[in-house]
Amino acid sequence: MKKLINIFYCSVALFVFVPLLVGCSDGKNEESKTVPSENVSVSKSEKELDDMEEGNLTDKKIDESESTHTYNIEEEDALSEYSSQEIEYARVWLQLGPNQEVDELNVSYIPAGEPINPDDDTSASYPEDVIQLAGSRLVDGAVTYSGNGDGTINVYNVPLRWESPADVDNDFMKEYTEGILENTELVSIEPGDNEKIVELIGMLNVHY
């Protein structure tokens, strides 16, 4: 009888203990399966975020490029109805003109071989064709230069009106004008403000 009771107790104990072991084992397996899936989900989210950021940066670069391209087109269109010479005269005066408050901008062509001081026979002569820009008044000053065709000009420091000082030797004007030739300045001309360029072009009075 006692043996039967012991066998019964052992059977009950095994019946209760075995499911507990199975339950613990299943929990560990589920946990081990869950953790990697979370890591994969996090990695995927980070990758998607990086892709979105890269896409936004690319879109921004494209927008900036299109904006710059549009600005350049608008800038060219603003001056498209004017000749390259008219634009050059206005830009040179805008950058170098002694007086910007002019009511007229006179353009004179001076061919190579002409004396720098037309009122003096001893004056040195221009070695190239030059252009002189001047306002309608002496106070406006003048800019005398030759263009190089690459956005730069050679500036000659020539006064708008010549006054020969008294009591000087006969070679004074020759030496003075030769000094002007030796000291020409190479200047790079900036595009300048289009509105001011157009305004100055409207004031041009070209003399051939």
Question: Where do the domains of the chain lie?
Answer: 1-80, 84-207
Least confident range from 8-17, 90-99, 110-119, 166-175: namely 8-17
- Threshold 0.85, pTM exceeds: no
| Whole-number pLDDT of residue 201 | 96
Buried b (16+ CB within 10 A) or exposed e, 132-161: bbbbeeeebbbbbbbbeeeeebbbbebebe
Q: Is 171 exposed, middle or buried (0-12, 13-18, 19+ CB in 10 A)?
A: exposed
| Whole-number pLDDT of residue 78 | 80
Which one is predicted more confidently, 78 or 2?
A: 78
Which one is predicted more confidently, 169 or 53?
A: 169
Token duo for residue 192: 């300048």
Grouping H, G, I as helix, E, B as strand and the rest as coil, residue 146 is strand
Rounded to whole angstroms, the Cα distance separating 90 from 203 reads 9
What element of type H or E holds 40?
helix 2-79
Which one is predicted more confidently, 69 or 191?
A: 191
Rounded to whole angstroms, the Cα distance separating 75 from 16 reads 89
| One-letter identity of residue 126 | Y
What mean pLDDT, rounded, does the chain reach?
76
Mean pLDDT of 123-141: 95
Q: What percent of the chain has pLDDT over 90?
A: 52
Mean pLDDT of 96-117: 96
Rounded to whole angstroms, the Cα distance separating 102 from 140 reads 7
Name which of 203, 89, 99, 200 is nearest 144 in CA terms: 89
The answer to whether 135 and 106 have CB atoms below 8 angstroms apart is: yes
Mean pLDDT of 23-51: 48
